[in-house]
Structure 1
Amino acid sequence: MTRNRRMILVAAGASAVLAGAGAAVPAAFAGPARDTAQQQLDHLVQADGFPGALASVRGADGRVREYTSGRGVPANGQVRIGSNTKTFTAVVVLQLVGEGKIDLDQTVEHYLPGIVRGNGNDGARITVHQLLQQTSGLPDYDDVLFTRPEDLVGLSHAYFEPRRLIDAALTKPPGFAPGTQWEYSNTNYVLAGLIAERVAQRPIGEEITRRIIEPLRLRDTYWPGVGEQRLRGRHPQGYVAVAPGAPWVDVTEMDPSLGWSAGQLVSTPADLRAFLEALVAGKLLEPAQQKAMMTTVPAAAFEPTEHWDYGLGLARHALPCGGDAWGHGGDIQGFETRNLVTTDGRSAVVAVTGLPTTEQMVADVSNAVDAALC
């Protein structure tokens, strides 16, 4: 569901926003280019303590390679991709914009009358564009629903309707006036999903499937049905630890509805990489909507480094070896994924089979993607 901070920090028993982790590639990742990705994954398992890791990498030579580390981790296994779902949702919304059915500058109140009201939150002052760019100021329902480390396990089988997520968020006041700052909030993308459903008059999962998954032939990517808790295909087990050094608890079977259009999808590293490659190459959006998606604002708190800017469901990252790459990333009970795609054809997706419990673990997963590209 959330990109990283809230669920990871709950698991770590911390409350501050992640800060200070360096962008440099760890020394353990040094070595011949052909071995770098495997060294990355082995470091994540052996040094950081993740139960397992898997990756799909397209190198500068155009070849795609799959990697695994840890016991019982299948190559290119299915994982829950958390907030990478936001990028899929943004594509659906922007396709509807291109079809003249949604106006990015129109208000949330226009599409969802009466839903965003209370405690200073006002849908009449928030635009669709601000939802997608995370500049609405709306509080994050994660902060209301996940208040103790144990909640990561205790709520793993709970079913949440989208309106319940919105109502939880609106028990808190906004963080700032719409359009004046940037702050990550899952609430924005649940509302974006509701708007897409209202306009398309079909479920958001069906629209994601029809508009993205099927055209790109992402055979291992799917929207779980209501109440569906098991992963359908070959997959590693996913885990949560409620504190650094605590035992890993198996949460592979869980209800992903707490993420909905902000974090519900299941995919594989290869499918997710293929989706992002197609998106960055302009194969899913018309030029005007592509430009809107890739027009960014500073988003220093998006990751443990300050080298990020956020567009409309897609983020730009300055690589430590020079140049920019695009991606998103996601976290949900059991799994964390990080990914980047460059405009010159390189791409990498790294997934770990447990939520990080320390800032160093967070940084090392992100740095692993940097290393695979650099």
Structure 2
Amino acid sequence: MTKTLKAFRRIGLTALAAALLTGVAVPTASAGQDRPELRQIAQEFIDAGFGGMQLRVRDERGEWTGSAGVRELGSTAKPPTNGHFRVGSTSKNFTATLVLQLVAEGRIGLDTPVAGFLPELGLDSRITVRMLLQHTSGLFNHTGQYHPDGTVTPGIPWAGKEWVDKRFHTYRPEELVRLAVSKPPVFEPGAGWSYSNTNTVVARLLVEKLSGRPFADELDRRILRPLKLRDTLSPGAWAGMPKPYAHAYYRYEDAGQWKTIDVTHQNPSWISSAGDMISTTKDLQTYFSALQSGKLLPARLMAEMRETHPGSESLYGFYGLGQFTQDLGPGCGVVLNHNGGLNGYGSLMYSSPDGSKTLTASITSGDSAKDPLPSFPGALDKLVRTVFCGK
């Protein structure tokens, strides 16, 4: 359990503050069918200390949507099942797909060094495209590097009062990469595995260099418009949130006192393409199903995406190129995923290998001193197995 919780924190869902415990509304489900087992699990996330949850499942029984908890503190209204939310590190999968589309077109090779394309950044000349997408580059994580002995080398502020005071500050992607390059590498390129947000920021800059377009424009042109993902965007430094949405909250300590603020509006440029995107459970479902069923990448690159690194085990399985592969065991099989978290938010995105069965969700935090983190791995495992194992 300790190992998985550390991995969970590293990936970013630590940023979810503890949630509302009282005044929890009864979960709602889509009309026409009842899935009491899913409603019960959604409620378990709320009981664990999260504030709100939107849940969408598509399987052999059709599509089901539901929500639990509250949309806003002080209200009894439930989160909208079509609500927008910040998807956090789920953004990494979109970025990886963009890069692999460029690889498919012959713009660059998976094992091509990237420094020659981005000479202004001072990258190690041995770092390749594959290393960026698989987190084997050794680049320091600009949001702070977690070491095996439990120590942390700080990066830019992303938590506590320091982040609260700077939550509308704008960072440029190049600024984040230069900070990382100024620090000693975690290991020689290709010599290990370490989850680093900086890898995906470099991948963003590589997309822009190869395409000649801003990242958001290329994302729109290659993925969002073809799949009609009208509720998904890469906001850059925009701090807004399209309606409808459930509010997200952040609990932090200031001068010995605990405070809670609404962080629905925040500038996500500190995480850039490693975690800044906004979407809905419906759009994430459409996207991830299309990806896994081969609509966005050729078969050879889907195989590369699913080839995992042996040193990358975490709560979500083993990491490939921009996604996790998790073997649930006999009777369940393999699921692909990339979950994420940002201050106040968490997201879930799962699919069967053929894209036919999916699970997508948003989790928002509230205003409770109860820490939901210890209960999260168990609740997540139960949810995933209920959907993909029929148990």
Q: Which range, TM-score by smaller chain?
A: 0.7 to 0.9
The verdict on how the C-alpha distance between 1:165 and 1:96 changes in structure 2, with shifts beyond 3 A counting, is same
Shift of 1:319: 2.0
Distance in 1, Cα, partners of 2:304 & 2:283: 24
Corresponding residue of 2:192:
181
The verdict on how the C-alpha distance between 1:148 and 1:231 changes in structure 2, with shifts beyond 3 A counting, is closer
Corresponding residue of 1:48:
48
The verdict on how the C-alpha distance between 1:79 and 1:276 changes in structure 2, with shifts beyond 3 A counting, is same
2:285 is the counterpart of 1:286: no
Distance in 2, Cα, partners of 1:246 & 1:341: 38
Contact persistence 2:134–2:322 (CA under 8 A): yes
Q: Secondary structure at the match of 2:326?
A: strand
Distance in 2, Cα, partners of 1:87 & 1:10: 19
Contact persistence 1:7–1:146 (CA under 8 A): no
Shift of 1:206: 0.8
Shift of 1:269: 0.9
Shift of 1:105: 1.1
- Structure 1 stretch 234-243 or stretch 142-151: which is displaced more? 142-151
Q: Secondary structure at the match of 1:110?
A: coil
The verdict on how the C-alpha distance between 1:247 and 1:324 changes in structure 2, with shifts beyond 3 A counting, is farther
Aligned partner letter, 1:351: S
In structure 1, runs of 5+ residues without a counterpart are 13-32
Q: Secondary structure at the match of 1:172?
A: coil
Distance in 2, Cα, partners of 1:359 & 1:271: 26
Corresponding residue of 1:100:
106
Q: How does 1:163-178 map to 2 (within 5 A)?
A: 163-178=174-189
Corresponding residue of 1:347:
358
Shift of 1:151: 3.4
Q: Secondary structure at the match of 2:208?
A: helix
Q: How does 1:55-134 map to 2 (within 5 A)?
A: 55-61=55-61, 63-72=62-71, 73-117=79-123, 122=124, 124-134=125-135
Distance in 1, Cα, partners of 2:247 & 2:378: 20
Aligned partner letter, 1:169: A
Aligned partner letter, 1:354: S
Distance in 2, Cα, partners of 1:8 & 1:362: 10
Shift of 1:5: 2.0
Tell me which of 273, 282, 290 is aligned to 1:270: 282
Distance in 1, Cα, partners of 2:372 & 2:299: 40
Distance in 1, Cα, partners of 2:384 & 2:239: 29
Distance in 2, Cα, partners of 1:229 & 1:365: 31
Tell me which of 315, 319, 338 is aligned to 2:348: 338
Distance in 2, Cα, partners of 1:196 & 1:237: 32
Q: Secondary structure at the match of 2:132?
A: helix
Shift of 1:156: 1.9
Distance in 2, Cα, partners of 1:212 & 1:11: 28
Count the aligned residue pairs. Answer: 343
Q: Secondary structure at the match of 2:295?
A: coil
Contact persistence 1:11–1:152 (CA under 8 A): no
Contact persistence 1:152–1:240 (CA under 8 A): no
Distance in 1, Cα, partners of 2:12 & 2:337: 20
Shift of 1:165: 0.9
Contact persistence 2:112–2:128 (CA under 8 A): yes
Distance in 1, Cα, partners of 2:285 & 2:9: 19
Contact persistence 2:11–2:195 (CA under 8 A): no
Aligned partner letter, 2:134: Q
Corresponding residue of 2:377:
363
Distance in 2, Cα, partners of 1:257 & 1:293: 26
Contact persistence 1:350–1:365 (CA under 8 A): no
Q: Secondary structure at the match of 1:351?
A: strand
Question: Residue by residue, what CA displacement relative to the aligned partner does 1:302-341 show, whole Å, maximum 9, x if unpaired?
Answer: 33xxx61111111101226631100101111221012210
Corresponding residue of 1:16:
none
Distance in 1, Cα, partners of 2:202 & 2:8: 17
Tell me which of 307, 315, 318 is aligned to 1:295: 307
The verdict on how the C-alpha distance between 1:11 and 1:169 changes in structure 2, with shifts beyond 3 A counting, is farther
2:192 is the counterpart of 1:196: no
2:319 is the counterpart of 1:310: yes
Question: Residue by residue, what CA displacement relative to the aligned partner does 1:5-53 show, whole Å, maximum 9, x if unpaired?
Answer: 26555778xxxxxxxxxxxxxxxxxxxx9212211111111x2111111
Q: What TM-score do you get using the length of structure 2 for normalisation?
A: 0.81
CA RMSD of aligned residues (A): 2.6
Tell me which of 214, 217, 228 is aligned to 2:238: 228
Aligned partner letter, 2:180: A
Aligned partner letter, 2:174: R
Distance in 1, Cα, partners of 2:293 & 2:42: 27
Distance in 2, Cα, partners of 1:145 & 1:44: 30
In structure 2, runs of 5+ residues without a counterpart are 1-6, 18-33, 72-78, 145-154
Aligned partner letter, 1:230: G
Q: Secondary structure at the match of 2:160?
A: coil
The verdict on how the C-alpha distance between 1:163 and 1:79 changes in structure 2, with shifts beyond 3 A counting, is same
Q: How does 1:232-247 map to 2 (within 5 A)?
A: 232-242=242-252, 246=258
Distance in 2, Cα, partners of 1:227 & 1:147: 15
The verdict on how the C-alpha distance between 1:161 and 1:112 changes in structure 2, with shifts beyond 3 A counting, is same
Aligned partner letter, 2:70: R
Corresponding residue of 1:27:
none
Corresponding residue of 1:5:
10
Shift of 1:132: 0.5
Contact persistence 1:152–1:242 (CA under 8 A): no
Aligned partner letter, 1:232: P
